[in-house]
Amino acid sequence: MNIGQASATSGVSAKMIRYYEDIGLMPKAGRTEAGYRVYTAADVNTLRFIRRARDLGMPIERIRLLVSLWQDRARSSGDVKRIALEHVSELRTKIAELTAMCEALEGLAHACHGDHRPDCPILEDLEAGGQQAPARVRRRRRIDAGQSQPGATA
């Protein structure tokens, strides 16, 4: 099987297949006399395994661990689970960060009337470094009004 076929049946782009080989995530593919890479059905399975792990958001290094465990008949499922839970934990951290950002911005946007007037709590918050209480952003008390004049940069 050529790389194009392997790509089509695994769902991994040819570019990525070469890259995975390059970084040692995939074993070196066999070659035809002309230098074309040759893939077996087992290779395609590995590629699919990798793609699936990528779909779960795993970084290459974690996938590398999982692949070696996968190929190790004497593995402990506990090791696999530990890696999986580690990733779950990182995902949760990331989700929490994004959620915090999202909520902060939603609160700001909610407080913004969003009409033709220039007056805007979002900009004010950005300007003030988010120091104000998120609730009741109404009272904008002109923090450092002298210096923070936009446009006075030069």
Write down the H helix ranges in 11-134.
14-22, 41-55, 60-70, 77-111, 121-128
Write down the H helix ranges in 112-139.
121-128
Residue 89 vs residues 58, 78, 83, 126: alpha-carbon distances, Å:
12, 16, 10, 30
Q: Which of residues 88-107 bind DNA (CB under 7 A)?
A: none
Is the Cβ of residue 30 or residue 114 nearer to DNA in the bound state? 30
* Interaction partner, residue 123 (DNA, a copy of itself, none; CB < 5-8 Å by kind): a copy of itself
Binding mask 69-88 for a copy of itself (x = CB under 8 A): xxxxxxxxxx-xxx-xx-xx
Q: Is 8 exposed, middle or buried (0-12, 13-18, 19+ CB in 10 A)?
A: middle
Cα–Cα dist 146/154, whole Å: 15
Binding mask 60-79 for DNA (x = CB under 7 A): xx------------------
With contacts defined by CB under 7 A, how many residues of the chain interact with DNA? 22
Q: How far is the CB of 104 from DNA (least distance, A)?
A: 17
Residue 111 in the binding site for DNA (CB under 7 A): no
Residue 99 in the binding site for a copy of itself (CB under 8 A): yes
